[in-house]
């Protein structure tokens, strides 16, 4: 990115020489930025001076100990200036200090040898391709000595969602107000102050923020004092932080209001939000207090800061960010209104708050050494959501949804373009690509599998040991496994040399059927190789033959990767519902049952990260079980059978007819996860058809889906009643019915919409039915326009989200194009909503060509706004292309992305979408005619 030369100073009295040096620096930075893509082998600055360091990672010659930051932002000119004093310690002799700086104009840098000593100037060299600056000292720095580096600099508030950036909101009266907030993870602290911006280079921070009297500043630590610097200018001094990574630093300058409560241990918890929405802060506040108390108890480690703030930021790209002591959130991820917010919003807010608070231990207190082990932060936080919320909010029944995370992870992990949980990364774009379903969801799933294997208490004592040992430090993958080394599955086991030994007398029916296992050896098979195993089960009398192989989409034959996993298998049978266990460490093995069985179901509750194929009549037995008395096995087991059956269709192990036959039992299903899993498998089938003009079969398939679920749809009441899962199920079923023009649903929704419109949007609709009502209302121009007007004035995230969804369901191409244009501009619809709008239109049967065209035409601007490698960009690529299933579209996608060269062709999401389209083509060629014939079969007449 070019640095803007139209730079305005937030302070009036700046010396001429200072401005001159700044202008020269600006010119240098601008020129350098143009050369970024043409990186020389031996780095040189813009004027040809050799840059003294050629690696992306910083050298270890000097280490930061403490930062003194002073930041002054001008919210009128959208600029800021700062001074950074970094106390460093020298580990190896050097006269060069290399650190990070990105899009900052360095005015001056000096070095002080000890407190009170005079400063000496440092020569500053900049190398933008690596986002680095070099400070050259006149003489070598001495090992073991401490020095202070002082840097004066300036910058523009970012117009995007990272670094120190501008955010705006509109008051009820229509006034637009500006605030400034930070989002530094993974590599954007360097956009706010020059720093050693790597997670292992931890230091403490003293932060001072200058602001106008009408504003409020908050940061990681509590305010110590405020000093009036000049008329209309106040400097807030915040307490010194604990030792932490740069990406966790945070500060916000705004006019937010807050509500607060204390935890039992005396931690002050506050929620900050724009003034008009402060009455929506209470649910998150109560949840945060409860969750913080839970974590202190669970980890047996006190939360180390005196306060925990949760701030809702009007412009925010991701869901939330775990800055230590000042977690930041998208408004929809934090604000809840009892009347307007949906059941799924309540569940989502609770999970996100629990995720960010888990990070205060996993990530903040103990941090991964480098981004290749990001999963140690994110997998753990995702996993702890379920551990914590199942205890603090039992009514939400979060444990029911965990397996959905594993299915999401498997979707990308089944592709050749997947990566191991722990995988090497170096540059910022590669680092951003690590923020994906493999790091989060797969990370959580393998931790859940390990907890199931070790037992909850043993697992907990292992992670507490890990947190205690590495507090305020950084870790690698193996440090976690070493902390678990002397922890054994909870039954008759002893440890010796880090291995768990089974006692000879343990009963084989209830324990792991193996003698020895090391946690590290076992878990390395799950973190150091990509993908997951397919377990094939063949029953011969009492003998159960087990075989493992690497499951990978893209071919009917098994890939010869040679991967083997240590798989903790669990199973139940027709004769015993107590969970049996077997640790499979070899390619094949056999276990012997006490007696012959009618059916056997492996991966009980989907606690293991693997899928299962049943040879011979194994699938027929399980399909018969579901059609007879499906409640004999749990709803999660039923959902996993649906998922596994269709995964097996993809690799030619099971016929599409058998998988579809299995779904027929859903006519009698009432639980959320099996129904949702059925929809997750069936809806994409007609979505592929929509994009290939296969109208006749597409309509027959939609009709079959409605008939399959009609009884359950008819049972739904149009009111907000029941458990969270019942309400979420109701919302989705009514939406499905109305979108597919099921007359009883459409008539009722139209009636509701008419009344709501006549009340000028003031009538209170049941939240659970609102999505269906709005989706029907948006189908004509008058209804669409009315919804959009309501969207502009609404203060409620759920309502805005529901309207946004409905607007994107329109069949009017002009309306859809207008939505893309407006959300991208960001004036009336915030740009943070653009990725979702693009994806929704990319799924719309008339809108998908518009979305794909928009992505191509605006690619460079999208990269600038959302950053190369970011999860938002990945979602947009996949959302607009991964339901294509023709060779013409495949060539179009390949051609476009390969033309981008280093501006996108190398992205993992591009490889994923190409693989997925190839798989879609293969799948449709193989299965489409079979589906057409199956839809004519007599068994469907019974529906």
With H, G, I as helix, E, B as strand and everything else as coil, classify residue 64. Answer: strand
Catalytic residue among 87, 185, 322, 356: 356
Rounded to 10 degrees, the C-alpha dihedral 646/648/649/654 comes to -120
**Pairing status of strand 366-368 against strand 473-475:** parallel
Question: Does the N-terminal peptide bond of residue 191 adopt cis geometry, omega within 30 degrees of 0?
Answer: no
Residue 743 burial (C-beta neighbours within 10 Å; 0-12, 13-18, 19+):
exposed
| C-beta atoms surrounding 136 within 10 Å | 16
Alpha helix locations (H) across 393-498? 402-413, 428-433, 443-454, 456-469, 477-484
Burial classification of residue 399, based on how many CB atoms lie within 10 Å of its CB (0-12 exposed, 13-18 middle, 19 or more buried):
middle
CA dist 601 and 610 (Å) reads: 13
Contacts of 577 (CB under 8 A, 6+ apart): 632
Q: H or E element: which one contains 16?
A: helix 16-34
Q: Which secondary structure element, helix H or strand E, spans residue 32, and what is its range?
A: helix 16-34
| Residue pair 520/566 in contact by the 8 Å Cβ criterion | no
Please name the residues in contact with 140: beta carbons below 8 A apart, sequence gap of 6 or more. Answer: 93, 94, 95
Q: Is the CA virtual torsion 104, 109, 114, 115 positive or negative?
A: negative
Strands (E), 701-814: none
* Residue 932: closest CA among 660, 535, 673: 660
CA dihedral (333, 335, 341, 343) in degrees, to 10, reads 50
> For the packed helices 402-413 and 443-454, what is the interaxial angle rounded to 10 degrees?
120
Enumerate the β-bridge partners of residue 933.
none
Q: How many whole angstroms separate alpha carbon 812 and alpha carbon 789?
A: 17
**What phi-psi label fits residue 48: left (phi over 0), alpha (psi between -120 and 50 degrees) or beta?**
left
Joined tokens for residue 847 = 């809108």
Assigned token pair, 601: 């179901």
Which residue, 867, 885, 871, is CA-closest to 836? 871
C-alpha distances out from residue 310 to 306, 346, 519, Å: 14, 16, 37
Nearest-5° angle of CA 930, CA 932, CA 936? 110
Give me the phi and psi of 706, to 5 degrees please.
-65, -45
Structure tokens at 135: 């400070």
Q: Which residues of 891-927 are buried (b: 16+ CB within 10 A; e: fewer)?
A: ebbbebbeebeeebebbbbbbbbbbbbbbbbbbbeeb
Gap between the Cα atoms of 702 and 710, Å rounded: 12
What is the bridge-based pairing of β-strands 588-592 and 580-584?
A: unpaired
Tokens of 59: 């050298």
Can you say whether residue 604 is alpha, beta or left, with left for phi > 0 and alpha for psi between -120 and 50 degrees?
A: beta
Strand partners, 567: 584
Q: What's the full length of the chain, in residues?
A: 943
> Active site includes 515?
no
Q: Identify whether the C-beta of residue 890 lies closer than 8 Å to the C-beta of residue 917.
A: yes
CB 370 within 8 A of CB 475: no
Q: Report, as residue numbers or ranges, the catalytic residues.
A: 356
């Amino acid at each position: 990115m070019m640095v803007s030369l139209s730079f305005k100073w937030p302070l009036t009295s700046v010396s001429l020489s200072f401005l001159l040096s700044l202008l020269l620096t600006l010119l240098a930075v601008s020129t350098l930025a143009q050369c970024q893509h043409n990186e020389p082998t031996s780095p040189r600055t813009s004027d040809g001076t050799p840059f003294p360091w050629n690696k992306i990672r910083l050298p270890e010659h000097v280490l930061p100990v403490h930062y003194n930051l002073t930041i002054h932002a001008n919210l009128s000119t959208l600029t800021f200036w700062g001074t950074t004093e970094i106390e460093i310690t020298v580990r190896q002799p050097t006269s060069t200090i290399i650190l990070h700086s990105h899009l900052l104009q360095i005015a001056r840098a000096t070095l002080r040898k000890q407190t009170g000593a005079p400063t000496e100037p440092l020569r500053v060299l900049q190398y933008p391709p690596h986002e680095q600056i070099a400070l050259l000292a006149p003489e070598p720095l001495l090992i073991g000595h401490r020095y202070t580096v002082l840097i004066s600099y300036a910058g523009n508030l970012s117009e995007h969602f990272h670094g120190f950036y501008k955010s705006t909101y509109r008051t009820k009266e229509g006034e637009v107000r500006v605030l400034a907030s930070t989002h530094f993870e993974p590599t954007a602290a360097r956009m706010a102050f020059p720093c050693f911006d790597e997670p292992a280079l931890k230091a403490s921070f003293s932060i001072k923020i200058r602001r106008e009297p009408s504003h409020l500043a908050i940061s990681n630590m509590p305010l110590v004092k405020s000093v009036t610097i000049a008329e209309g200018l106040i400097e807030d001094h915040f307490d010194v932080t604990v030792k932490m990574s740069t990406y966790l630093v945070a500060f916000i300058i705004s006019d937010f209001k807050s509500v607060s409560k204390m935890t039992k241990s005396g931690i002050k918890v506050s929620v900050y939000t724009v003034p008009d929405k402060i009455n929506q802060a209470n649910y998150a506040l109560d949840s945060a207090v409860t969750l913080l108390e839970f974590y202190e108890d669970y980890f047996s480690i006190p939360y180390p800061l005196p306060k925990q703030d949760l701030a809702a930021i009007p412009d925010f790209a991701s869901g939330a960010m775990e800055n230590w002591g000042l977690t930041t959130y998208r408004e929809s991820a934090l604000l809840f209104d009892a009347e307007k917010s949906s059941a799924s919003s309540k569940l989502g807010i609770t999970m996100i708050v629990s995720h960010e608070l888990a990070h205060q231990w996993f990530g903040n207190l103990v941090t991964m050494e480098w981004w290749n082990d990001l999963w140690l932060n994110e997998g753990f936080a995702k996993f702890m959501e379920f551990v914590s919320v199942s205890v603090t909010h039992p009514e939400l029944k979060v444990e029911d949804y965990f397996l959905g995370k594993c299915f999401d992870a498997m979707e990308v992990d089944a592709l050749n373009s997947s990566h191991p949980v722990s995988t090497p990364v170096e540059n910022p774009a590669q680092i951003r690509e690590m923020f994906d379903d493999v790091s989060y969801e797969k990370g959580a799933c393998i931790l859940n599998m390990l907890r199931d294997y070790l037992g909850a208490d043993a697992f907990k004592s292992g992670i507490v040991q890990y947190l205690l040992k590495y507090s305020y430090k950084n870790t690698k993958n193996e440090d976690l496994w070493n902390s678990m080394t002397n922890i054994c599955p909870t039954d008759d086991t002893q440890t010796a040399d880090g291995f768990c030994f089974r006692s000879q007398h343990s009963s084989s029916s209830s324990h792991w059927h193996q003698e020895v296992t090391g946690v590290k050896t076992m878990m390395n098979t799950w973190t150091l190789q990509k993908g997951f195993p397919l377990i094939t089960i063949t029953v011969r009398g009492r003998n159960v033959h087990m075989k493992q192989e690497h499951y990978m989409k893209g071919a009917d034959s098994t890939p010869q990767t040679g991967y083997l996993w240590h798989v903790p298998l669990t199973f139940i049978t027709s004769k015993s519902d107590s969970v049996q266990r077997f640790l499979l460490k070899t390619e094949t093995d056999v276990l012997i049952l006490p007696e012959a069985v009618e059916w056997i179901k492996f991966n009980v509750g989907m606690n293991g990260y693997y899928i299962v194929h049943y040879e011979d009549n194994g699938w027929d037995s399980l399909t018969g079980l579901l059609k007879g008395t499906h409640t004999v096995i749990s709803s999660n087991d039923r959902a996993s059978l649906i998922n596994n059956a269709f995964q097996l269709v993809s690799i030619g192990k099971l016929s599409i007819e058998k998988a579809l036959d299995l779904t027929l039992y859903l006519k009698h299903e009432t639980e959320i996860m099996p129904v949702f899993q059925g929809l997750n498998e069936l809806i994409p089938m007609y979505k592929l058809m929509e994009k290939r003009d296969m109208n006749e079969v597409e309509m027959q398939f939609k009709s079959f889906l409605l008939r399959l679920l009609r009884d359950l749809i008819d049972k739904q009441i149009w009111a907000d009643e029941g458990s969270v899962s019942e309400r979420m199920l109701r919302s989705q079923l009514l939406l499905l019915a109305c979108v597919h023009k099921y007359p009883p649903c459409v008539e009722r929704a139209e009636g509701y919409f008419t009344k709501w419109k006549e009340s000028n949007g003031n009538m209170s609709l049941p939240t659970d039915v609102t999505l269906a009502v709005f989706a029907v209302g948006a189908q004509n121009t008058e209804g669409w326009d009315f919804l959009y007007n309501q969207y502009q004035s609404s203060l409620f995230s759920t309502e805005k989200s529901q309207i946004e969804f409905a607007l994107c369901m329109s069949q009017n191409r002009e309306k859809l194009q207008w939505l893309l244009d407006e959300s991208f501009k960001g004036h009336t619809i915030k740009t943070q909503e653009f990725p979702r709008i693009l994806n929704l239109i990319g799924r719309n049967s008339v809108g998908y060509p518009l979305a794909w065209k928009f992505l191509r035409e605006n690619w460079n601007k999208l990269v600038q706004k959302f950053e190369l490698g970011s999860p938002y960009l990945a979602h947009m690529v996949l959302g607009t292309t991964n339901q294509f299933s023709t060779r013409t579209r495949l060539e179009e996608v390949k051609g476009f992305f390969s033309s981008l060269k280093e501006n996108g062709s190398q992205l993992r999401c591009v490889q994923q979408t190409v693989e997925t389209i190839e798989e879609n083509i293969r799948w449709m060629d193989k299965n489409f005619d079979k589906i057409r014939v199956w839809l004519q079969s007599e068994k469907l007449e019974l529906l």
